[in-house]
Amino acid sequence: MGRPSLFIVASLLTALMAGVSCTFKLPDIPGLPLIPELPPVETVIHPVPGYGVLNGTVESSVYNNRTFWGFRSVFYAEMPTPEMRFLPPLPRKPYPEDEIVQAIYNNAGCVQHLPYGKEDCLSVSIYTPYLTDDSSIPNTLLPVIVWIHGGSFRSGQAIEYLPGRFMEEDVVLVVIQYRLGPLGFLSFDTDEVPGNAGIFDQIESLRWVNKYIKYFGGNKDWVTIAGESAGSASVSILLLAEQAKGLFHRAIGESGSVLAEWAVDRDGRGKKASMRVAEIAGCPLDPYEDLLDCVRTIDAQALIDAYGQFREEDLKNGGMGFGASNPVMQIAGAQRILEVEPRKQFETGNYNNVPIMFGANKHEGVLVFSYAWKDYLEPNNMTSNATFLENDLVPNILKALHVRDDTGVLADALVDKYLADADMGDFTSMTPGLTDMLGVLFLKSAGYETVRLHSLHNEHSYWYSFNYEGRNSLFIYLFASNPPNYPPVDHGVDHADEMIYLFIYPFPSDPPFLDEREKDLSLKMIQVWTNFAYYGNPTPDDVELLPGLPKFLPYSRDRESYMDIDCEWESKIDYTKTYTISVDDIKAGHIPCRCAGLDADVCFR
């Protein structure tokens, strides 16, 4: 199949990432197909012994027209019953042998702030260039990449990650769905509502892959988990989870880690937020039996809506809006993950010690800044309040991150590092420093620290910095409305922008296709990601690398190598030197490389 139609695209924009105010909404027309996808040109019937007989699609990759097969929305777990609503899932029962399971279209995704979400959503979509009937020859089976989508643990779905680029390579791609928002992460710290159900979904999907992926040409002993943002935080949680041991063999994390404050709630904060969500939903808070009965049986969408209201309230009060919708340090439940502080566990080395490749984007902070502007600063009329900007903004950022700074020493240090050149009190002048600071505090340092800690136990630890400023950006679509309410900042290389080159990512691309330079970037990234899945090394010696791909050196404490991904790829030293990149670029009069040279005239924004 080709690229998604503009119609799909518009319907998906709201789902993409954090905090999307519903600018685009699908019309709520009864009878409209749940998620419109282009009908397949060709289909295939494929039996999966012990599971069911699937009807899938025959498709081609985007660059070289290679044939591959797709099996969308194949359920790995049962829909939770009310009693099981907040607990680890049960595996899907096999289908009768005489039933044809339709695996042609991606299903509606898990319930979220979009119409059409379903509770029966625990599915994997499988794409493979190698559909063999003979799964008895394991050494012909391909490595598998299991993709865990982002979206702040509360949005996202498989249809947003189409495989046309990855299918250039000999790799099996599996895109999973997991419970989102309060349905995946509500936590009362009790055995009935212990938290982390969404992560247990991810683990169950890996068990399904372990059991059945050989029937799709994939090798169960050659599995890479990969994810972006909350998906990357999930990847790092799975590194720590005993229950996921042996189910994967490499890990890729793009722009996120469990070491980020937003990724895990602790100290009872998850429970407090969850109680507030239940209260907004109209549930009685006591006795506990009534509360439990209410959250178990309330309409799923109503619970999501209550969370949405909680989030708005929390953001306006300077919080991060993640509570009741993110993983927790678990203290209840028959099955538990995250019982040990993640940093401690990474320090000890007592976890799933596999090769990892993590990275972050140049202007991660732009998204955080934009939401802070839209949901906190603007509603509270603070962008023009010089007193607030000068004295209270940075301390409030630390408060949102639950960092205690009684003496103000930390806030001062942050101002010194990021805002030394700014006219404190003038929002415009502070913007570059703020985006740098927010990018580091919310995303960059947590990911980098993960690699730094992991490198103590595994020499296969890689870090990249994605610096290619393309024509498209998630930013443009998140904040495009009519009239656009663009935050007062350039999109730069925003959070999630690297995925444009890995997936057929549902932007209403303007321009619609990758140009030659972007295609070159995409092919290189697909090769590097796939190499990593094969070898645990992005650029191994015995693989012929695409022209312009230098050696991607591992990170170690004494040689702090990382890969700078831009028009040119370059191995560099000491990523922390780039923490003030926006401020430094302004001083240096930096022009994005795509805006230099022959293409300068087509460079916009």
Binding footprint of ligand NAG on the chain (CB under 6 A)? 40, 43, 45, 55, 60, 65, 67, 100, 104, 381, 384-385, 387-388, 391-392
Question: Cβ 14 to ligand NAG, closest distance in Å?
Answer: 27
Nearest CB to ligand NAG, comparing residues 21 and 383: 383
Question: Cβ 131 to ligand NAG, closest distance in Å?
Answer: 14
Phi-psi region of 531 (alpha: psi -120 to 50; beta: other; left: phi over 0): alpha
3-class SS of residue 188:
coil
Contact 218, 210 (CB under 8 A): no
- The alpha carbon of 120 is separated from its chain's Cα centroid by a whole number of angstroms, namely 21
Q: Do you know the residue count of the chain?
A: 605
Burial of 60 (0-12, 13-18, 19+ CB in 10 A): middle
Nearest CB to ligand NAG, comparing residues 37 and 169: 37
Beta bridge partners of 565: 466, 569
Nearest CB to ligand NAG, comparing residues 21 and 60: 60
Closest CA to 526 of 225, 232, 251, 168: 168
Question: Cβ 552 to ligand NAG, closest distance in Å?
Answer: 32
Closest CA to 145 of 176, 168, 106: 176
Whole-angstrom Cα distance, residue 436 to residue 110?
33
Nearest CB to ligand NAG, comparing residues 120 and 378: 378
Question: Cβ 442 to ligand NAG, closest distance in Å?
Answer: 22
Question: Cβ 2 to ligand NAG, closest distance in Å?
Answer: 10
Contact 361, 298 (CB under 8 A): no
Nearest CB to ligand NAG, comparing residues 268 and 395: 395
Whole-angstrom Cα distance, residue 392 to residue 258?
27
Whole-angstrom Cα distance, residue 337 to residue 339?
6
Closest CA to 217 of 145, 129, 147, 146: 129
Q: Is the peptide bond before 47 cis (omega within 30 degrees of 0)?
A: no
229, 232, 445, 473: which one is catalytic? Answer: 229
Q: Which two tokens stand for residue 377?
A: 């600063």
Catalytic residue flag (residue 229): yes
Question: 403: which DSSP letter?
Answer: -
Nearest CB to ligand NAG, comparing residues 63 and 535: 63
Question: Cβ 500 to ligand NAG, closest distance in Å?
Answer: 22
CB atoms within 10 A of CB 413: 12
Q: Which residues are catalytic?
A: 229
